[in-house]
Amino acid sequence: MEEYQAMYKASLEDPEKFWGDMAREFYWKTPFEKVGPTYNFDRTKGDVSIRWFEGGATNLSYNCLDRNVEQGFGSKTAIYYECNDLDDGHAAYSYSDVLRMVCKLANALKAEGVQKGDRLSVYLPMIVELPASMLACARIGAVHSVVFGGFSAESLAGRLQDAQSSLVITADAVMRGAKPVQLKAITDKACEIAAKDGFNVQRVVCVARLKDTPRAGQAQHGWVSGRDVWYSDFVAAQAEECECEWMDSEAPLFMLYTSGSTGKPKGVLHTTGGYMLGAFATTKYTFDYHPEDVYFCTADCGWITGHSYVTYGPMLNTATQVLFEGVPTHPDVDRFWKVCEKYKVSIFYTAPTAIRALMKSGDAPVTRNDLSSLRLLGTVGEPINPEAWRWYYRVVGGGHCAIADTYWQTETGSHLITPLVGAMDCKPGSAVLPFFGGPGGGGTVYGDHKRFEETYFSQFNGCYFTGDGCKRDKDGFYWLTGRMDDVINVSGHRIGTAEVESALVAHAKVAEAAVVGFPHDIKGEGIWCYVTLNEGEAYEDSLKADLKKQVREVIGAFAMPDEIHWAPGLPKTRSGKIMRRVLRKLALPDYETQDLGDTSTLADPSVVDVLKSYHPRKK
C-alpha cells in the first residue's frame, strides 16, 4: 500500500520522471522534448486540450510488434485463437507471425492509396485479422474505426459516413454460438444506405472466415465487382516488411463511436503517445502482468476494452493472450472455463453481466474444469454487485485470486479507478482507488471539438466529467453508482436512451417515445420504452414485437427493448419537458408503491394513472 501511495504521488508530482522513464522503455523515432501533460480543461481560458510527450514521434505497431521481435520474442506466442466451434479448431500466432501479417496488410492498404490520416473502418469478428487490421492502420498512420460486429447496417452506415471511411475490412460471416452473423451482407446494406446519402465506399476487403470451411453454406452475401476483394487476394502480392510511418505523439491513432445522452454516437478520437502509455501501464500494473502469464480478456475489439486490453495493452507488454471468437454459452455454459483450462490462463478479464449469467448455471460447470492456473480476475463495464463478486471470487477464483474491478470509459482509453490487487485489500463492489495519474484520454470528438467541450467540460469548470455517480467511503475507496445522464448500461453495452427513442420514432405508427433503464438481474440494466402511437393507431400487443424488431434493425440486437409500455400520453411539464424521473420510477417492479415526488407541475397529472392502468407488470 505504501508503494502504491508513493507511486501515485510520484505520478502526479513528477510526471516528467515517472511517465518519462516509463515512456523511454519504448522506441521513439524522435525523442519527446517534454512529458507533459500540457493541458487546459477550463473552457473560459480557451480551447480544451491535452498533450502528452510533445515533440516525440513513435508508432504503436512498431512498439507492439517489431520491438518485441527485436528483443528476442519473435517466437513467443502473441495470440492463441480459439474458434467459436470446438470442431473448428484453434491456432497460435507468434509475434513474428503477427508482424508479417500486419506488414502485408499495411502494404496492401498503401498500394490501395490509403494515406496517413485517412479513416478506415473495420467490421470484423474476433479473429486474428481484427487486431492485425488495427495494427496495420497504426503502422501506416491511418485512423481505425472499429465497429462492433453486433451493430446493424444502419449503424454501420452512419459510422462509415461520419468517419468518411471509404474502405471497410469485414468478413463473409461468422458463427456466434449456433447462429451465423452475416457481416458481409450487413456491410453491403450499409454501403447502400450510405450511397443513398451520397457517400460511396470504394473498397470492401472481405476475410473468408466461413468460405472453404464445412460451414461455408451459412454465409450468404453478394459481391460487387470492382469494389469487393477477398482479404487473401488483397494481401497476396505484398512484401512481409513494411516501414512504419512515424507518428507525432499527438497524431490520431483511432476513433471509436460511443453513446452519450444526446444525439448520434460520437467518434471519440485517441492520439498516439498518451494512449500508448495509458494502455501499457494499466495492463502492467492493474493485472500485475508477468512474462509467464497467459492472459484472456473476453471483450470484443469492437469496444474500447478490446482496443486497450486485447490489441494494444497486452502486445505492448509482450503478453501471450487468448483471442476468443465465440460466446460463453456455446457449446455449453462452461466454455470460458474450458478455454481457461486449455491455455492455462492466469489472468482472466470479463464483464459482470457474463458473471451473473454464468452464475445462474451453478458451480458445477466451473468446478468440473481445472482452473488452478488462474491468479488474477478482472471485471469491467458496469458496477459489479457484491453477490456476483463473491461468486466470481469463491467459485471461479477458487478463493485464491484477487479481483480487479476496473472503472473507466471509452473516453479515458484506460483504467481510471482500479485496485492494484497485490497492494490493497478489496471490498466487493468497490473499484477501490485511482490508478496513477497519467496519460490516455481521448483528445476530441471526431469532427466536433465543440461537442467534446460541451459534453465533458461544461459541468465542472476545469474538470472532466465522466457522467457517472460515485460514493467515497471513509477509507477513500470509490463506489461507482451508475450513470447520471440518459445513458444506460445494458450488459456492459453503453446505449443512449435518445438513440433508442429515435429508432422507435422512425416507425411509421409511432408518434413519440421515451426510454429509461430499469434494474435487470443479468443485464445490469434493461431497456424500458414508453411509446405513444399516432392518432388512430390501435395499441395492439402484436405491434410490440414489430417495435422491438425496429430497434434491432436500426441499432443492433444488443439494444433490443425488454419492455414496450403503451403510453397514450407521456408525463410532461407545462413547458413540454418529459419528466423522466417519473418514468424511471414507473418502470420499477414496485412501481405501485413508488413515491413519484412532486407531480403537480405536470401539464396533465392523470397520465400517470393511465400509464399505471396499462402497466406491463400488472398481474
Q: Please give the residue ranges that form the binding site for ligand WTA (CB under 6 A).
A: 258, 303-305, 380-383, 405-410, 431, 466-468, 480, 483, 489, 494
Give just the sign of the alpha carbon dihedral 537, 542, 547, 553.
negative
- C-alpha distances out from residue 553 to 148, 190, 546, Å: 15, 12, 10
Q: Which residues contact 163 (CB under 8 A, 6 or more apart)?
A: 119, 121, 143, 145, 255, 267, 446
Q: How many CB atoms lie within 10 A of CB 159?
A: 27
Give the shortest CB-488-to-ligand WTA separation in angstroms: 9
**Cβ of residue 130: shortest distance to ligand WTA, in angstroms?**
18
Choose between 40 and 261: whose C-beta lies nearer to ligand WTA: 261
Round to the nearest angstrom and report the end-to-end CA distance of the chain: 53
Burial 169-207 (b: 16+ CB within 10 A, else e): bbbbbbbbeeebbbbbbbbbbbbebbeeeebebebbbbb
Minimum CB–partner distance for residue 239 and ligand WTA (Å) = 37
Of 410 and 444, CB closest to ligand WTA: 410
Say which residue the cell 420499477 belongs to: 588
Which of 508, 499, 492 has the alpha carbon at shortest distance from 529? 499
Q: State the nearest-atom distance from the C-beta of 253 to ligand WTA, in Å.
A: 17
Closest CA to 205 of 230, 238, 225: 230
In contact, 271 and 252? CB cutoff 8 Å: yes
Phi, psi of 519 (to 5 degrees): -65, 130
485 given a catalytic annotation: yes
Identify which of 33, 128, 47 has the alpha carbon closest to the alpha carbon of residue 454. Answer: 47
- Please state, in angstroms and rounded to a whole number, the distance separating the CA atoms of residues 83 and 98: 18
Q: Say if CB 432 and CB 426 are below 8 A apart.
A: yes
> Strands 444-445 and 294-297, how do they pair?
unpaired
Of the two residues 78 and 431, which places its CB atom closer to ligand WTA in the complex? 431
Residues 6+ apart with CB under 8 A from 601: 573, 574
Q: How far is the CB of 348 from ligand WTA (least distance, A)?
A: 15
Q: Judge contact between 602 and 573, C-beta under 8 A.
A: yes
Phi-psi sector, 318: left (phi>0), alpha (psi -120 to 50), beta: left
Minimum separation from the CB atom of position 597 to ligand WTA (A): 24
Q: Residue type for 97, please? A: D
Least Å distance between CB 305 and ligand WTA?
Answer: 5
Shorter beta-carbon distance to ligand WTA: residue 32 or 275: 275
Positive/negative CA dihedral, 192, 197, 203, 207: negative
144: exposed, middle or buried (C-beta count within 10 Å: 0-12, 13-18, 19+)?
Answer: buried
Partnered with residue 94 across adjacent β-strands are 77
Q: Which residue is nearest to ligand WTA (CB)?
A: 410
**Residue with smaller CB distance to ligand WTA, 119 or 483:** 483
Nearer to ligand WTA by C-beta: 402 or 602?
A: 402
What secondary structure, in 3-state letters, does 498-523 show? HHHHHHHHCCCCEEEEEEEEEEECCC
The enclosing H or E element of 133 equals helix 129-140
For residue 512, give the C-alpha cell. 413519440
When the beta carbons of 59 and 444 are compared against ligand WTA, the nearer one is 444
Contact 470, 506 (CB under 8 A): no
Q: Which of 85, 88, 448, 485 is catalytic?
A: 485
Q: 379 vs 532, which CB is nearer to ligand WTA?
A: 379
| Cβ-contact 244, 162 below 8 angstroms | no
CB 328 within 8 A of CB 357: yes
Output 106 or 253, the one with its CB closest to ligand WTA: 253
Q: Which bin fits 614, alpha (ψ -120 to 50), beta or left (φ > 0)?
A: alpha
The strands making up 77-82's β-sheet, listed across from edge to edge, are: 90-94, 77-82, 320-324, 294-297, 347-350, 376-380, 402-406
Query: For ligand WTA, which is the closer residue by CB, 318 or 430?
Result: 430
Which CB sits closer to ligand WTA, 165 or 258?
258
20-27 contacts at long range (C-beta below 8 A, 24 or more positions apart): 22/277, 22/280, 22/281, 23/53, 23/56, 23/273, 23/277, 26/58, 26/63, 26/67, 26/276, 26/280, 26/316, 27/58, 27/59, 27/62, 27/63, 27/66, 27/67
Taking each helix axis from N to C end, the angle separating 183-196 and 153-163, rounded to the nearest 10 degrees, works out to 60
Q: Active-site positions?
A: 485
